[in-house]
Structure 1
Amino acid sequence: MLPAYGLYTHIRRNELRARALVIGLFALNLVLAYAAALVIRSAGTGLPFGAAPSLEAYLRAALHDLLWLGPLVIAGTLLWLFVAFRTHQAMIAGVVGARAVSVFEAPDLHRQLEALCISRGIAVPALQIADDPALNAYATGLNPQQYAITVTSGLMAALEPREMQAVLAHELTHIRNDDVRTMMIAVAIAGILAFAADHAFRSALMRDLPDDRGGRGRAGALPAQLIGVALVVVAWLLSQAIRFALSRTREYVADAGAVELTKDPDALISALLKISGRGDLARAPSGLMELCVDNPRTGFLDLLATHPPIEDRIDAIVRYGGGRLPYPAPWPA
């Protein structure tokens, strides 16, 4: 997080960085296509007629296959993004159990969100409630007509009005900065890579590895297939790293935007302290948890954590947003 005077510069830099990372995810799909062609060539279809069997020949044949396979992969990815564009909100609501909440059911919630949107002259997103005791919130949507902010019933019961306003401002900042759209695209593309990687491993396990000792006709097939599997692993690992990089950096910016909108850093600190460790939505997939205010699913030794620790986020608010820790402090200064 940066001081207030540097917030918009940081947001712009983050947008450019996010676009580069999403382009990187598309590039990884091409790497995956090349790996698939290499595995298929070495495992069964072999080389074009007349080609001398060698590792170099398999690599060249897979590169030739990429000329027609690559466009198909990109087209398939775009088609999947179109399907996600049309159906993602209904799927998320169905999994989590979220429903639209009217102004008569939650007048204070609507009033707080409308006040934040009016102060910045932006359209008011829809409001939804998920019946879940966890303390969390998330934003969804790929365009202004789809944008929605969902809060859990547990969050509504636990937070005071000013704390809830800070959480709404955090999610609204994600929408203002196009974080929601970027993360939805990244999760969708990374999901394709994960599915393809899993399929490749299952196929490799069900198929006997080529044996170079079987004769000249199979020379180079085994190392070619091993290279193909290695490329699949590398592509999947890089796709996960890109997802985590997108999530972690944007949480700091969203916290800064919430402080700027509400002018109440202490309320955000108080809300984060209450949410910390209590935000796991039991029915939510990992991709959705990446969109939440807090994601307590950290993975092995925090290496797969999509959100920075709550302590680090609060420390940034104290350092740069003028916030104050409650006394006594929840952790050593």
Structure 2
Amino acid sequence: MAAYGLYTHIAANKTRSMLLLASLFVLVYVIVYAGALIIEVFNYAGAPAEYYLRAALRDVIRSLPYSTGAAALWIVIAYFFHQSIIDAVTGGTDVTRKEQPRLYNLLENLCISRGIAMPKLKIIDSEVLNAYATGLNQRQYSVTVTTGLLNALNDDEIEAVLGHELTHIRNGDVQMMVIAVIIAGVVGFSAELLFRLFFNVGNYGWGWGYGRGSGRRSDRRGSGGAILIVILAVVLVVLAWVLSQFVRLALSRSREYLADAGSVELTKNPDGMISALRKIEGRGELPGATSAVMELCVDNPREGFADLFATHPSVEARVQTLVRYAGGHYVGPLALPLPVSEPHDGEPQLESDNQPPSGPWGSPADAGEDGSASSHRPWGNPTGDPPGPWGRR
């Protein structure tokens, strides 16, 4: 059943990718139609509403080659340059084995152990704790991690995070997420341009003469239709933007559960994934990153209204799943400091997560048989196995 679920997930990702690309063109045509409505109202203010609807449709048909070409050009640009665009937003840079031997060796060992092609490795100089994978084909795949993640996590935990990202690549999740970023980007950009056009035209002045370039004012019998058409155009633009955001809902949250499971399959260490998630929890907000970029990350702390638009399951749900199905041991939220603190001199700095805070780690259930807090052996096995770091199963 697990294999069936995995392979159907991969097949579904391919189908969704094609549907999302098709929806990109549909949303672009909707925005073009809205723009044509506004232009027709500006040029022929005072005409009946039916005239604007027919005229705008003719404009869309005439401009079809240009709008289709523009959408296709954006896809081509995104295909070749999406990594550069994401790196510009997040500050990711390529690193070599010489620059990051620890990280490079961990990733290379995972790839060799499963015969996976080695992706590019990138680093973000940031105190937050997060990682993500990008790419649309074998030559483009890359895994990016923050320096905060490297400083806060031990080797087992970093290996678990890398296994999570490699599973996203193997399962085809990366292509889906990048395509969603492309769609959100082009629709958002087009909607913003159209709103600028709308407000600029409004500032220029709406004439009510019936006929292009008319300098006279007609009776205002047709002005009501023009106002309705303008409202319709604005609604269409907003609708296109909202639908582009709903693309996020096509990114099934099950992909994160499967990536966690794939990490355990690669590393044979469910507790490494659990402790990594607990350290990252609430500490992964990349400064300056858009919501689309945050959706690529191992944990997205941003949540929508009533969790409806959240693209990731909660860390608690993921941990519970690993405990129930992967044989991991439960660890509650860690009382770690947030990655960025604000000292008296006003300079933000990283509070190291390497030193355990005072007080017990995890829940009271993790205490030893003698009642001592589990902080005396923070990564020990509460079931009575030998203390010390979680070993491989």
* Interval containing the TM-score (normalised by the shorter chain): 0.7 to 0.9
Q: Distance in 1 between matches of 2:27 and 2:273?
A: 37
Equivalent pair of 2:278/2:331 in contact (CA under 8 Å): no
- 2:303 is matched with 298
Match for 2:179 among 181, 185, 190? 185
- Tell me how far apart the structure 2 counterparts of residues 181 and 145 of structure 1 sit (CA, whole Å): 13
Measure how far apart 1:101 and its partner are. Answer: 2.2
Q: Which runs of 5+ in 2 are unaligned?
A: 210-217, 333-360, 366-393
Corresponding residue for residue 34 of structure 2? 35
Distance 2:61 2:303 in 1: 39
> Percent identity among equivalent residues?
51
Q: CA deviation at 1:211?
A: 6.4
Q: Which amino acid aligns with 1:292?
A: C
Partners of 1:33 and 1:70 within 8 A in 2? no
CA distance in 2, matches of 1:269, 1:84: 34
| 2:325 maps to 1:325 | no
Flag the 1:22–1:75 CA change in 2: closer, same or farther, 3 A. same
Q: Is the 8 A contact 2:295 2:311 kept in 1?
A: yes
Moved more, 202-211 or 188-197: 202-211
Aligned-partner Cα distance in 1 for 2:262–2:62: 45
2:63 counterpart SS class: helix
Residue 193 of structure 2 corresponds to which residue in structure 1? 199
Cα contact 1:99–1:130 (8 A) shared by 2: yes
SS of aligned partner of 1:220: helix
Task: Give the aligned partner of residue 239 of structure 2.
Answer: 234
1:107 pairs with 97, 101, 110, which one? 101
Q: What pairs with 1:1-333 in structure 2 (closer than 5 Å)? A: 3=2, 6-45=5-44, 53-206=47-200, 207=202, 214-216=219-221, 218=223, 220-246=225-251, 248-299=253-304, 301-326=306-331
Whole-angstrom CA distance in 1 between matches of 2:227 and 2:146:
52
Structure 2 letter corresponding to 1:123: A
Gaps in structure 1 of 5+ consecutive residues: 48-52
Total equivalences in the alignment: 326
For residues 330 and 12 of structure 1, what CA distance do their matches in structure 2 show? Answer: 40
Which position in structure 2 is the counterpart of 1:50? Answer: none
| 1:22–1:246 CA distance, 2 compared to 1 (3 A) | farther
Q: Is the 8 A contact 1:3 1:321 kept in 2?
A: no
Query: Could you tell me the TM-score, scaled by structure 1's length?
Result: 0.86
Cα drift, residue 172 of structure 1? 1.0
**Larger RCO of the pair (alpha carbons < 8 Å, separation 6+):** 1
Q: Deviations over 1:125-148 (max 9, x none)?
A: 111221111101111222222211
Q: List per-residue Cα deviations over 1:23-44 (Å, max 9, x = no partner).
A: 2233211211222212221232
Do 1:131 and 1:153's aligned partners in 2 also have CA atoms closer than 8 Å?
A: yes
Q: Are residues 210 and 236 of structure 1, via their aligned partners in 2, closer, same or farther at CA, if it must alter by over 3 Å?
A: farther
Greater helix share, 1 or 2?
1
Conservation of the 8 A alpha-carbon contact between 1:210 and 1:222: no
Partner of 2:378: none
Instruction: Please report the RMSD computed on the Cα atoms of aligned residues, expressed in angstroms.
Output: 2.9
The Cα shift of 1:154 comes to 0.8
Q: What is the TM-score when the length of structure 2 is the normalising length? A: 0.74
Distance in 2 between the 1:156 and 1:107 partners? 12
Q: 1:296 to 1:247 in 2, by over 3 A?
A: farther
Q: One-letter code of the match for 2:148?
A: G
Q: 1:5 to 1:83 in 2, by over 3 A?
A: closer
What displacement does 1:299 show?
4.8
Report the AA paired with residue 313 of structure 2: P
